[in-house]
Amino acid sequence: MTTARHWFITGASRGLGRAFTEAALAAGDRVVAAARDVGPLTGPAEEHPDALVRLPLNVSDRDAVFAAVERAVEAVGHLDIVVNNAGGLLYGMVEEATERQVRDHFDVNFFGALWVTQAVIPHLRARRSGRVLQVTTMGTGSGMASVGYYGAGKAALDCVSEALAMEVEQFGIKVTVLQMGGYATELFTTGTTATAPDPAYQSLRARLAEMWGEDAGPDPATAAPLVMKLVDLPDPPRRLIVGSRSFDLVQEMHRARLEQYRAWEELSRTAPG
């Protein structure tokens, strides 16, 4: 008989977090599902009363995060898999964003994940095992107009997570950055904060809207089987692109970036560093 694993998932009430929660429960695991509003998890809680713990949490509050992780450990005994999924989108041009909007955005997308990570690592280290999955985006390798702040926050989480992976590997803890493709997660609807649009960027906005189209992407549930396979791997990758189409797009972005570097190689080599 397989021993149930214990998950701690943020942003668990919708989108990818909800999909990962349901997949873990279906596998017979126990889940502490954290979200600002845990109401949408009433159904799963009724179906899995002994396996799902709902935990209201605002990840931007560091003290609340540390307290929530302690409550999670008390509730299920220990943690095996931590998924930093909570996040939102600040949509708008770099010039348009207010200081409050930018700080609020990073408080959730970067600092929120950082606080959770800092809170769980001592527990995982004490057991000398555990997985940390950091949900970022396939777009962290290149900035994109109107979603630059989203990419910046996720890129920062990418870098910190790479450092974390090196630091905690000695304790048996495995860290994987999940560079997600586009899924129908409500990120561009209920999860979005928009800047006040400046008319100077109207034509660019129109071109971006035409380029992106109206396809919201596949159901988040289609990404869950990959995650369930990932957590079973004894030696998981530190970075993983999630999505076939996204894999191709990232490959293309890297090729374009390399070509740009090579085009200016002569200038680069004029400095000795």
pLDDT digits (tens, 9 = 90+) for 144-202: 899 999 999 999 999 999 999 999 999 999 999 999 888 887 766 777 899 999 999 99
Sequence-distant (6+) residues with CB within 8 A of 62 are 111, 115
Q: By CB neighbour count within 10 A (0-12 exposed, 13-18 middle, 19+ buried), where does 142 fall?
A: middle
**pLDDT number for residue 94:** 97
**pLDDT number for residue 188:** 62
- Confidence label for 215 from pLDDT (cuts 50, 70 and 90): confident
Instruction: Provide the residue type at 139 as one letter.
Output: G
The pLDDT of 77-105, averaged and rounded, is: 97
Distance CA 213, CA 216 (A): 9
What pTM does this model have? 0.94
What SS3 state is found at 59? coil
The pLDDT of 6-29, averaged and rounded, is: 97
Higher pLDDT, 51 or 183: 51
**pLDDT number for residue 113:** 98
**pLDDT number for residue 115:** 98
Six-digit token string for 177? 């950055």
**Average pLDDT score, the chain:** 94
Phi, psi of 230 (to 5 degrees): -60, -45
Q: Which of the residues 150, 183, 201, 261 is marked catalytic?
A: 150
The pLDDT of 245-266, averaged and rounded, is: 93
- Confidence label for 128 from pLDDT (cuts 50, 70 and 90): very high
The answer to whether residue 133 scores a pLDDT higher than 60 is yes
Q: How many CA atoms lie within 13 A of 219 on its CB side?
A: 7
**5, 32 Cβ separation under 8 angstroms:** no
Phi, psi of 52 (to 5 degrees): -115, 125
Q: By CB neighbour count within 10 A (0-12 exposed, 13-18 middle, 19+ buried), where does 157 fall?
A: buried
* Residue 150 bears catalytic tag: yes
